[in-house]
Every structure is written in structure tokens, then in C-alpha cells.
Amino acid sequence: MNMEIRLTSPLLLILIGLGFLLANLGVIPITPWEALVQYWPALLVILGVYHLAKVTIKGITRRRVSVSGLLFAVVLILLGLYILAPRIGWDVSPVSWSIVWPSALIAIGVIKLIQDRFDLFSFSVTSGPSRTSVVGEIRKGGSSWVLDDMRLRHGVGEVHLDLTQAIIPDREVNIDIAGIVGEVAIYIPADLPVQAQCESNIGEITVFDQHRDGLGNEVSYRSPNYDTATQKLNILVQWKIGEIKIRQIG
């Protein structure tokens, strides 16, 4: 392992330096950084192929192949190819996160079932503004409900908050959401001052007119009149894989 690291690091530096040099000389059209931003899903494919080869070689050596390891590698490869396809000009049918997260849940369940023979999960809701769940859907909205501070911790699924008809108190309201896989959608009134900090390891982030997608995304927003406003909303969303949307309605 140490020998692999000692060999890989200088080779990687050489390749990156060579890429920037060729780009600066006009030999190739894009720099390594631009290639990474555009084609980062290829890393998932490479990681999946590497894991697949590693599991296969280990299985041949031990005469016992890890089925869960193979499934994990295949999921990585398929996910990487699906995200990469439109970036290289391949036509793919769009799939919403409402389909992706249950599929991811099924894949994780199958892998764990094979690996551990059984898998148990729990669902718990704590009292007050704090709520924790493992899988499912969290929705809050409707007419005449009072918005209060909330802290949500979610595993796999969707979080939808419709604040357009909520009763907003005369203070700063804090919303803190964190999760692993799925979608977060928050709809707020157009005249409500907002401060938002959204982070996603893999996926898309849309905060009003700002949009980011890819790997390691972060979007910050602050209304011009936020400091002087009486009613205001402070949003923090941290998501591992999925989509984050914050939109104004009205």
C-alpha cells in the first residue's frame, strides 16, 4: 500500500502538470480542472471499475466472491454512467429523485441483506423542533400553520417544506436540515428575507437564481434587507447525495 502511494502521487502530479502545460500551449482544448468539473462522474465509474476488479481478484484468490462488493461496484458504475452520459452527448431518459432514492434504498438493502443476512432499521421522532428519521418522506405545509425553529436529520428520502402559507413569527427562524440521499425542497414567500447556506457532496443545488451541480457544491445567499428585517428565515442544508431546491413563490 505504501509503495502504491509513493508511486501514484508523483505520477498524478506529472499528469496534472502535463495536462495544464498542454492546455496552456493550446494542444488540448481544456485544462485538467475544467475536465474534472465537466466530467467528474467518470470518477464514479473509475472507482466502481477499480472496486469491481479488486473484489474479483480477491474472490479468485480466496475462492469466494463477495456478492455485496460486486453489487456496490455495479451501482457505482451505473450511477456514474447515468450522470456522465448527457455530459458527453449521449441521450438518456431523465429520472427524478423520487425514483432514484427508492432505487438506492433497494440497492443498499440488498447489499446489507446479503452481507449481514438481515438488516433492521428504526424510525424515531424526538419531541420539539428536532426530528430524526432513517428513511421515508417528511412534508410540512398547508394553511395557517405556525413556523418555528426546526432541526431535521434524515437518512434516505425527501424533505418538502412549503412555507408560503405559514404564519411567520416576528424574529429570525432557523431551519437546519442534514441528510444522506434524496431531495430537499423548500418553498418560501417572495417577500420573506432569507439567509441560506446549502452544501452537497454530489448532486444539484438551486437557490433562487443560483445553480450548481456536480461534486462538492456550495451555494450561499443573503437577502439585501436581511439584517434590518423583523421576520426572516435562516436556512442551513447539508446533503450528501441528491438535490437541494429553495424557491420563492408569489
* pTM of structure: 0.54
Q: Where are the domains of the chain?
A: 1-39, 130-249
pLDDT confidence band for 4 (50 / 70 / 90): very low
- DSSP state letter for 28: S
Cα-flanking dihedrals φ and ψ of residue 101, to 5°?
-70, -35
The β-bridge relationship of strands 130-140 and 194-207 is: unpaired
Cα-flanking dihedrals φ and ψ of residue 241, to 5°?
-135, 125
- At residue 51, the pLDDT reads 78
| 221-248 pLDDT per residue, tens | 999 999 999 999 999 999 888 899 999 9
> What distance, in Å, lies between the first and last C-alpha atoms of the chain?
57
Give the cell for residue 22: 498542454
Element containing residue 189 per DSSP (H, E): strand 172-189
Residues in the chain, overall count: 250
| 19-41 pLDDT per residue, tens | 778 878 888 787 878 877 788 88
> In whole angstroms, what is the distance from residue 207 CA to residue 106 CA?
30
- At residue 59, the pLDDT reads 60
